[in-house]
Structure formats: C-alpha cells, structure tokens
C-alpha cells in the first residue's frame, strides 16, 4: 500500500509542479533520516559502526556506510508535497547499495483543513513539545500522524489530526493503526499537546506534553508517556515514562547546550516477541528485578554544538542508559 501511495504522490506532484508557487530541490550528503538512532546514523556522510555481541548475525564486523539524500519540495495555493530519495551503501558482508523513496502529498481545499497521503510525513505533524533538544529529533510517540492517510485541521492555534497508518521506521508491526493528535499553541508563550497512537489494537500508546516558548533561544519541555511498543527515546523501553528536554543557544559564542532526560516511573518495561524468522509477533511486559528488588531505568542524553560557520555545525553527543541502584553487570543497553 505504501508504495502505491507514494507513486500516486509522485505522479500528482509532477503534474502540478509546473503550476507551483515554490519548488526547492536539495541534495544532502549523509541524507538525514530524521532519527539519530536509526541504522544509517543520522546525517553523517560516512559512518563506521563496530557490532558487538548483542548483534549475533554481525558479531565482530565493522560496518562502513555512505549515504546521500535528494529531496524535492513544492507548494501551490492548494497543493504541496515532498519527495525524498535516499541512497546508502554498506560494506558489511558484501551488502549491496540500498535506495528508498519517501514522501507525502497534501491537498487543502480551504486553509484550515488538509488531506494528506504518503509513506512518511517526517516531522510535519509532530507535537512541538515532544521535541528532544539533545537528540535534535522527535520520538514516534510525539507524532500525531506518521504515514498513510490523515486529515488535519488548523484554527486559531489549535491543531487536530486523525490518521490511519501502517508500520513506520520505529515499528515492524504490519497492522493498520488509528492515531489521533492535538496541539494548542499560544504564540511566543507556551504550547500543549497530546497523542493517541494505535488506539484500535494492542500497540496502544499515549503521551501528553507541554513546552515553554516565551524565552528566546531557550528550549524547555516535559511530558508523560504510556508506552506499549516504542523502544527508542525511552530508557530501556520503559512502560511508564516521565521525560523532559532543555537547551539554550548562546548566540554570541555560537554555542548550544542541550540535555534530554527520561526515567521509568516503575520497573516495568516492554520486550518484543519474535517468531523463528525474527519477525515481531507481539510485545510483553517484563520487570527489572534482582534478588527481589526492583530497579528503575534512567536515560540521559547530552549535546554540545558549535556553529563554525553559517552552514557548518560541530556537535558532540553523549548518552547514558542505566538502572538506578543496579550494578554494572545489570546495566541496561
């Protein structure tokens, strides 16, 4: 289905681009894949990854990946869209080059309502307060709509979204999902948002978020997440999570300091159940315990950025996953 949706989007965009008010074609070495934790490694042109014992199939191998992205964005009075081609190649075990196509197309009969279709909406319909400053990314549970078909309404600072989607970059489950989202922004003051994901099946998750937006160059937001399947941006796939993010850009020094924080509210976490072919068949709830004692997972991420020029930014990242009170032997990965 997703391939057919994207093909339709591509065909319509070609037919309408000649009437476009704006057309932008960009090429990026590294091809940012909108997820720092994704396998291709963010927006780096060349990445080197050493696999460890947790990856049985690739134990002892070093992966070298080169990637590139070509993206077309266009807009008219009632129609806009994006088509992205991503190319990556890896030397691991003779793996051949990989090419994928992603994008979306939106039709707005009136300014307040949009109908969207595509196999990836990227971060277009994301709750602003779900932003992670240190990761410079949005988690899946903060997205009101990710792919498939969506109806989005905007009026006086309020955004409402309803979405039917398939699987995504973060979820290998092929079942169709019904998702909802809402956001209210008071310009230059604050924003609030909530998501309801997979409300019709066993993958249900939800989040509520709030952010302060009244201080220039300051990022400050927090939220609560109930989770059933998300395994990134959460400490050790916790089931109940309190998360926060903060950051500040020092313009004169061209520096940025950012931190993400997430902690489980109890010792419960989720684990994927897989069949003999390693396909995900469901999820189960487990507990962190040792000698009868409970442990709570904690995750902290940090980033320091330096804007060397208007087009070049240098970043240093650090991430720590741990179980509060657990020794090194039982440290979460």
pLDDT tens digits, 211-245:
999 999 999 999 999 987 777 777 778 889 999 99
User: pTM of the entire structure?
Assistant: 0.77
Summarised one tens digit per residue, pLDDT across range 138-181 is 888 899 998 999 999 999 999 999 999 876 554 555 678 899 99
Give the helix ranges, DSSP H, for the chain: 2-16
Computed over every residue of the chain, the mean pLDDT equals: 80
Tens digit of each residue's pLDDT (9 = 90 or more) over 281-292: 777 888 887 777
The b-or-e profile of 36-56 (16+ CB within 10 A means b, else e) is bbeebbbbeeebebeeeeeee
Give Rg (Cα) of the chain: 21
pLDDT of 12 higher than 90: no
From residue 330, give the alpha-carbon distance in Å to each of 231, 283, 290, 326: 18, 22, 9, 6
**327: its two tokens:** 């020794």
Residue 35: its pLDDT value, please?
44
Please, which residues have CB within 8 angstroms of residue 226's CB and are 6 or more apart in sequence? 205, 206, 207, 239, 240, 241
Asked whether 124 and 104 are in contact (CB, 8 A), the reply is yes
């Amino acid at each position: 289905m997703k391939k057919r949706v994207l093909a339709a989007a591509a065909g319509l965009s070609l037919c309408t681009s000649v009437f476009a008010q704006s057309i932008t074609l960009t090429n990026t070495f590294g091809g940012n894949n909108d997820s720092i934790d994704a396998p291709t490694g963010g927006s780096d042109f060349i990445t080197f990854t050493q696999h460890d014992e947790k990856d049985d199939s690739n134990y002892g191998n070093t992966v070298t990946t080169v990637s590139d992205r070509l993206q077309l964005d266009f807009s008219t009075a009632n129609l806009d869209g994006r088509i992205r081609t991503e190319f990556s190649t890896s030397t691991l075990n003779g793996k051949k080059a990989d090419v994928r196509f992603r994008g979306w197309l939106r039709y707005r009969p009136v300014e307040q309502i949009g109908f969207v279709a595509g196999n990836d909406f990227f971060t277009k319909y994301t709750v602003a307060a779900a932003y992670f400053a240190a990761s410079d990314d949005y988690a899946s549970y903060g997205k009101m709509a990710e792919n498939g078909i969506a109806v989005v309404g905007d009026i006086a600072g309020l955004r409402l979204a309803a979405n039917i989607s398939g699987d995504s970059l973060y979820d290998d489950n092929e079942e169709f999902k019904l998702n909802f989202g809402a956001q209210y922004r008071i310009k230059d003051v604050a924003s609030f948002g909530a998501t309801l994901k997979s409300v019709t099946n066993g993958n249900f998750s939800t989040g509520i978020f709030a952010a302060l937006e009244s201080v220039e160059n300051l990022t400050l937001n927090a939220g609560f997440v109930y989770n059933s399947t998300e395994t990134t941006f959460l400490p050790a796939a916790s089931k109940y999570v309190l998360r926060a993010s903060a950051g500040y850009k020092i313009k004169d020094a061209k520096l940025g300091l950012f931190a993400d924080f997430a902690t489980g509210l109890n010792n419960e976490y989720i684990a994927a159940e897989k069949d003999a072919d390693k396909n995900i068949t469901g999820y189960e709830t487990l507990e962190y315990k040792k000698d009868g004692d409970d442990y709570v997972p904690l995750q902290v991420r940090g980033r320091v950025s330096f804007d060397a020029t208007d087009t070049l930014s240098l970043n240093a990242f650090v991430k720590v996953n741990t179980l509060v009170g657990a020794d090194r032997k039982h440290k979460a990965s």
